[in-house]
Amino acid sequence: MEQYYFHSVTLDTSKCKGCTNCIKYCPTEAIRVRNGKAVIIKERCIDCGLCIRICPYHAKKAVTDPLESIKNYKFKIALPAPTLYGQFGPDYTRERIVSALKQYGFDYVFEVARAAEIVTNATEYYMANKEIKKPVISSACPAVVRFIQIRFPNLIDNLLRIESPMEVAAALSRQEVNEKYGIPLDEIGVFFISPCAAKVTSVKAPYENRKSNVDGVLSIKDIFLPLLGIMKKQGDITSEPFSLSSAIGVSWAVTGGESSAIKEGRRIAVHGIHSVNDILEQAVKGNLDNIDFLEVLACPEGCLGGPLVVENPFIAKVNINNEIAKIAKNQAHRVLPKHKDVKEFEWKSTVEYRPIMKLDDDMMKALEKMNMIDVITEGFLGLDCGACGAPSCRALAEDIVRGDAKETDCIFKLREKVNSIAHQLHQIESAGSMSDDNK
């Protein structure tokens, strides 16, 4: 059965120069340069967004829904990721940003930060169960979940089996609006305002056969200028009542936010997909058995470093931290909302191992292929130069054995071949001229 893959991360062919800068960085070796252009192997891409950051020609992009798509719904709900609050600088408070969203055309704003607090509650509840596998690995970053599905099947059982704050926010806000205002469910459009490409993918193509509660994903980049324009003209906003989340939820945007929100246990926070790979390697070896909670985020500096943000993540961090400091002073925001039943946010099904690195379904053949790869790799110079379009000599050998490339894609092999043809031609020629002489 042909599997359908949607990916937010895609290539703009017209901008790609085929420079091969991106191929070595991809954590799943998903990129090849073929015929002078990058191609993403769909089965392997986890939408981590690293190639977007790496490409010097901005040829990699993340597809999101256009801002106009909110017009498709009568009642529009905005779910701002807490990262949004870090984008605008000290004058633009959370209150101003939230009311700007309403002025922009949203009928209702539900902070994802609020849902993050509920997820924190649910996590504490979940962690109290002595039976669960430690370390519990955060499942909030969809790129990391997909990475684990591909590379670390043994850690699937360690994943926190609780919906992400985005999904919780979507479900709760839809329900709130339906109950409070009596708006029919099919007239409600729920839009996540995202720093992240992987979230787009998790909405359009959720893990296994789940259904997302989010109707559309807008990028922070796209909505940044419209919001800024509104805020510049914004008058007094204090008249509008807000039920804003506490510091705990907002701090989820910053690395260490999710893990320090949980009150107990040994917790570590790791960000950047290659560092995440290293820590997961430690986890499979059993070296983290004395760790209770592992926060893992694919982007450097966590969601603040997502591919769809505008502000430099370190500047955004200062903005967010200032906002958090303000909330901390305000007692009213300090109480963590205890949601009635956290169990309702637990995953209904698990995610599955995706053995896409497997060489063949028949183990005998897979072993033979492995040996072929060894032999072919040995024949290469081992420079991992990337000129063939594969990230390493071994990766090219693998592609050859899988039938996706040929040996002469290696420029050194090609040169050898050209030399030997030239040599043969030369021999034929001199043989020919000899017979000419004999005439």
Q: Does 9 bind ligand SF4 (CB under 6 A)?
A: yes
Q: 154 to 213, contacts with other proteins by CB under 8 A?
A: 154
User: Which is closer to other proteins, CB of 358 or CB of 406?
Assistant: 358
Name residues whose C-beta falls within 8 Å of residue 216's C-beta, 6 or more positions apart in sequence. Answer: 65, 69, 70, 189, 190, 191, 192, 203
Segment contacting other proteins by CB under 8 A, of 177-185, 189-197, 366-374, 418-426: 366-374
Q: What gap in Å lies between CA 18 and CA 29, rounded to an integer?
A: 16
Q: CB of residue 291 vs other proteins: minimum separation in angstroms?
A: 11
Distances (CA, A) of 409 to 20, 374, 403, 415: 14, 17, 12, 10
User: Which is closer to ligand SF4, CB of 198 or CB of 231?
Assistant: 198
User: Which is closer to other proteins, CB of 281 or CB of 344?
Assistant: 281
Residue 107 CB: number of other CB atoms within 10 A? 17
Q: Does 373 bind ligand SF4 (CB under 6 A)?
A: no
Q: What gap in Å lies between CA 150 and CA 88, rounded to an integer?
A: 37
**Hey, which residues does 126 pair with through a beta bridge?**
none
Going by C-alpha positions, the residue among 15, 200, 229 that lies closest to residue 101 is: 229
Going by C-alpha positions, the residue among 300, 307, 95, 147 that lies closest to residue 217 is: 307
Q: Does 284 bind other proteins (CB under 8 A)?
A: yes
User: Which is closer to other proteins, CB of 91 or CB of 361?
Assistant: 361
The two structure tokens encoding residue 425 = 């031609």
Q: What gap in Å lies between CA 191 and CA 168, rounded to an integer?
A: 13
Q: What gap in Å lies between CA 164 and CA 199, rounded to an integer?
A: 10
User: Which is closer to ligand SF4, CB of 19 or CB of 67?
Assistant: 19
Q: 134 to 163, contacts with other proteins by CB under 8 A?
A: 153-154
Q: Does 151 bind ligand SF4 (CB under 6 A)?
A: no
User: Which is closer to other proteins, CB of 110 or CB of 152?
Assistant: 152
Number of residues near other proteins (by CB under 8 A): 24
Q: What gap in Å lies between CA 56 and CA 231, rounded to an integer?
A: 33
> Does residue 109 contact residue 80 with C-beta atoms inside 8 Å?
yes
Going by C-alpha positions, the residue among 132, 146, 148 that lies closest to residue 281 is: 148
Number of residues near ligand SF4 (by CB under 6 A): 29
Q: Which helix (H) or strand (E) holds 77?
A: strand 75-80
User: Which is closer to other proteins, CB of 30 or CB of 196?
Assistant: 30
Q: 343 to 362, contacts with other proteins by CB under 8 A?
A: 353, 355, 357-361
Which of 1, 128, 364, 434 binds other proteins (CB under 8 A)? It is 364
Q: CB of residue 26 vs ligand SF4: minimum separation in angstroms?
A: 3
Q: 262 to 281, contacts with other proteins by CB under 8 A?
A: 281
Q: What gap in Å lies between CA 258 and CA 275, rounded to an integer?
A: 17
For residue 30, the partner it binds in ligand SF4, other proteins, none, with Cβ less than 5 to 8 A by kind, is: ligand SF4
Q: Does 332 bind other proteins (CB under 8 A)?
A: no
Q: CB of residue 61 vs ligand SF4: minimum separation in angstroms?
A: 10
Which of 17, 102, 204, 210 binds ligand SF4 (CB under 6 A)? It is 17
In degrees, rounded to 5, the angle at the alpha carbon of residue 428 between the alpha carbons of residues 427 and 429 is: 90
For residue 154, the partner it binds in ligand SF4, other proteins, none, with Cβ less than 5 to 8 A by kind, is: other proteins
Q: Which helix (H) or strand (E) holds 192?
A: strand 188-194
Q: 36 to 65, contacts with ligand SF4 by CB under 6 A?
A: 38, 40, 45-51, 54-55, 57, 59-60
Site residues for other proteins per CB under 8 A: 153-154, 281, 284-287, 353, 355, 357-361, 363-364, 366-372, 374
Site residues for ligand SF4 per CB under 6 A: 9, 11, 16-22, 26-28, 30-31, 33, 38, 40, 45-51, 54-55, 57, 59-60
